[in-house]
Amino acid sequence: MSWFILVLSGVFEAVWATALGKTQGFTRLVPSVVFLVGIVASMAGLAYAMRTLPVGTAYAVWVGIGAALTVAYAMATGEEPASAMKIVFLVMIIGGVIGLKASH
C-alpha cells in the first residue's frame, strides 16, 4: 500500500509543480487552489509512505515521478520543447524509479 500511495504522491507533486507555474505569483485563484490541494496531498502521501519505506528511497521515487511527469506534461502541451535527448533522460529517471522499487 505504501508504494501505491508514494506513486500517487509523485503524481500530485507534478500537479502542484505545474499549477505553481500557472499561478503567476499566486495572483490567479484557480491555479493557486490547485497548487495548495496538490501540495497538501503530495506531502501527506509522502509522509504516509515514509512510515514504512526508507526515507531516501521514498524521497527519490517521489521526486523522480514528479519531475518526470512535470516535464512530460510540459512537452505534451507544448510549453516546453521536446527532444530525443530529453526523452532518453526521462526514460532514465523512470528506470531509476523502477530500479529503486525492484531493489527494495
Q: What is the pLDDT of residues 15-50, one digit of tens each?
A: 999 999 999 999 999 999 999 999 999 999 999 999
Q: What does the pLDDT average to over 54-78?
A: 96
Q: Which domain holds residue 90?
A: 2-103
Output the nine-digit C-alpha cell for 86.
530529453
How many Å apart are CA 11 and CA 14, to the nearest integer? 5
pLDDT of 87: 95
> Has residue 104 got a pLDDT over 80?
no
How many Å apart are CA 47 and CA 23, to the nearest integer? 25
User: Where is 98: in which H helix or E strand?
Assistant: helix 84-103
**What is the rounded average pLDDT for all residues in the chain?**
96
How many Å apart are CA 101 and CA 48, to the nearest integer? 17
Query: What is the number of domains present in the chain?
Result: 1
